[in-house]
Amino acid sequence: MERVNQLSIFLSSSNINEYKIELSIFLISIVLINLCLHAQMESKKCEGPEIMAFHRYPAIVEHILKTNFSNYPKGEAFHTCMEELLGVGIFNSDGDMWRQHRKISSFEFASNNLRNFSTTVFRDYTLILASILHQASTCGKQIDMQFQMILDSICKVGFEVEIGSLAHELPNHRFAKACDDATSTVTYRFINPLWRLKKFFNVGSEALFVQSIQVIDEFTYSLINIRKAELQGAKATYNNANNIKHDILSRFIELSENPYNNLTDKSLRDVIINFVLAGRDTTGATLSWFIYMIAVNPNVAEKIYKELITFKENQAKEIIEYDPEEEPKPFAERLAQFASLLTYDSLGKLSYLHATITETLRLYPGLPQDPKGVLKEDVLPDGTKVRAGGLGVYSSYAMGRMMYNWGLDATSFNPDRWFNKELFQSESPFKFAAFQAGPRTCSGKDSAYLQMKMTLAILCRFLNFNLIPDHPVKYKMMTTLNMEHGLKLTVIAGQS
Ligand code: HEM
């Protein structure tokens, strides 16, 4: 097992402009890490690594994420860097607190009500986005494809509020910007030991962090107050059966009424920000990388388009009397008609789209790396000893590009690799770890696929995307794999 320092973690996570110089740096750092690993294994010296990379073999990933899960919590380093932003929410808690959050959120995600409501919300917001993009296509306007609508849909599905960041000018929402700035700062804390000094003097990113937390707190506490007032109003009118909402925030507010649960307004604030950060950047970033990948792989875009056309014909035959000779309709009507065919069940038929999303996540996992604390001394499946009190990292980004895992074409974008005899075949989550695995697997995975498939089915059916020449596409150093300079492109309305 490799022992790495903060510099190599930085190298293995800095802006990697795929297939170019920065990838070489990344690969060199992986090679160095692995050399260290072998040297260490050869000499059988295991002198208590402070930081370890756990992602070399799927068996090791399985060990830390599942078999000996309780020994690898988030850990002190993670808590310290993240606490002001995430508080004691699901992402930043361990033990009983985590179990309580997990129980409620898993219950919510499994509910049919939430699933049906999400399907409608995802469809409605994509229709707005598609009309904005279609309008841009008529005048050749440049677009920065950052998918602000994810914030709208998370807030609608999670807390039943409209925040209106999806307007015709695609504005930069204050709360969204505060989340970006705050996550950027906490990510740098992992690699910059001087952050406490910056915080003490309140300078640079740490000063911006304080302002970002203020914006986040204003937004979240006002949401809590509004929702509490609504719930009380509903109870006061004895009409709670019809008026009480079933979003995640409302359920936590109900639980907070029982003092035994010890849920304060601060805990509710933490629930909101954890939910937003869990769903927004991960899904938004994946959608951006997907659009980028199909823009540079037009053969894949063409296959998706063909799948969507076949899907439309088959679905339409099942639902309405279908006339292939029908007169062409205006864009808005065709858009709405196609969107009406997309349901939770019917989206399951789009297996090539599903594979293309999965292939995007293999190369660009929304959360590229994840740190873990080490509670007690342990021995990994390859015989490496792990000392108590250390920090381990597994990188789904590195795992997605290892030939050891994916063969010689590991760095090629090839959605067909996910098919076996024309059927989509999933991989072990300890090899394809974009959603993590074991007890802490992403609770929003199905919801994320639902949203991504809804969005991309509609966009890829009607629109094509052309990158602005020479626009640099590389990722930004954050907890999530966002694009440093955005994704600048022009949109062209597709075939009818
Ligand atoms: C492409 C989209 C997504 C990816 C790649 C992704 C990935 C992940 C990963 C890697 C984790 C583990 C993080 C950790 O323990 O440090 C995680 C946890 C989680 N995700 Fe997602 N996620 C996505 C979308 C979503 C969405 C849309 C939601 C909900 C709206 C969501 C909710 C959660 C929650 C609540 C957890 C915490 C689980 C726990 O600690 O028990 N995720 N996700």
Read off the pLDDT of residues 272-299 as tens digits, 9 standing for 90 and up.
Answer: 999 999 988 899 999 999 999 999 999 9
Kindly give the distance from the C-alpha atom of residue 277 to the centroid of ligand 1, in angstroms, as a whole number.
9
Contact criterion met (CB below 8 Å) for 374 and 390: yes
Q: Is the pLDDT of residue 240 over 80?
A: no
Residue whose token pair is 């802490």? 440
Kindly give the distance from the C-alpha atom of residue 453 to the centroid of ligand 1, in angstroms, as a whole number.
17
Q: Is the pLDDT of residue 462 over 80?
A: yes
* Assigned token pair, 80: 């310290």
> For position 289, what pLDDT does the model report?
97
Q: Is the pLDDT of residue 156 over 50?
A: yes
Q: CA 72 to CA 64: how far, in whole Å?
A: 6
Higher pLDDT, 315 or 11: 315
Give nearest CA residue, ligand 1 atom 14.
91
> For position 10, what pLDDT does the model report?
37
Kindly give the distance from the C-alpha atom of residue 443 to the centroid of ligand 1, in angstroms, as a whole number.
6
Give nearest CA residue, ligand 1 atom 6.
435
User: What sections of 237-330 are H helices per DSSP?
Assistant: 240-243, 248-256, 265-296, 298-319
> For position 166, what pLDDT does the model report?
67
Residue 102 CA: nearest ligand 1 atom is 41
Q: Which residues contact 332 (CB under 8 A, 6 or more apart)?
A: 131
Q: CA 152 to CA 122: how far, in whole Å?
A: 10
Higher pLDDT, 113 or 119: 119
Q: Is the pLDDT of residue 140 over 50?
A: yes
What's CA 363's distance to the chain center, in Å? 13
> For position 131, what pLDDT does the model report?
92
Beta carbons within 10 angstroms of residue 468's beta carbon: 13
Whole-Å CA distances, 312 to 115, 131, 346, 495: 22, 19, 10, 14
- Sequence length of the chain is 496
* Parallel, antiparallel or unpaired: strands 51-53 and 2-3: antiparallel
- What integer is the mean pLDDT of 70-88? 90
Q: Calculate helix-pair angle for 265-296, 351-363, nearest 10 degrees.
A: 100
**CATH 1.10.630.10: does it fit domain 2-493?**
yes
Tell me the average pLDDT of the chain: 84
The amino acid at residue 316 is A
Q: CA 312 to CA 213: how far, in whole Å?
A: 46
Give nearest CA residue, ligand 1 atom 7.
435
- What integer is the mean pLDDT of 7-19? 39
pTM above 0.75, yes or no: yes
> For position 281, what pLDDT does the model report?
86
Give nearest CA residue, ligand 1 atom 31.
444
At 97, is the pLDDT very low, low, confident or very high (cuts 50, 70, 90)? Answer: confident
> For position 31, what pLDDT does the model report?
42
> For position 26, what pLDDT does the model report?
46
> For position 199, what pLDDT does the model report?
92
Q: Is the pLDDT of residue 1 over 60?
A: no
Closest C-alpha among 365, 488, 476 to residue 15? 476
Contact criterion met (CB below 8 Å) for 25 and 11: yes
Domain ranges within the chain, ordered by starting residue: 2-493
Q: CA 440 to CA 105: how far, in whole Å?
A: 12
* Assigned token pair, 269: 């604030």
Maximal C-alpha separation, the chain: 75
* Assigned token pair, 450: 């639902």
Q: CA 179 to CA 317: how far, in whole Å?
A: 45
The amino acid at residue 435 is F
Kindly give the distance from the C-alpha atom of residue 361 to the centroid of ligand 1, in angstroms, as a whole number.
13
Q: Which residues contact 110 (CB under 8 A, 6 or more apart)?
A: none
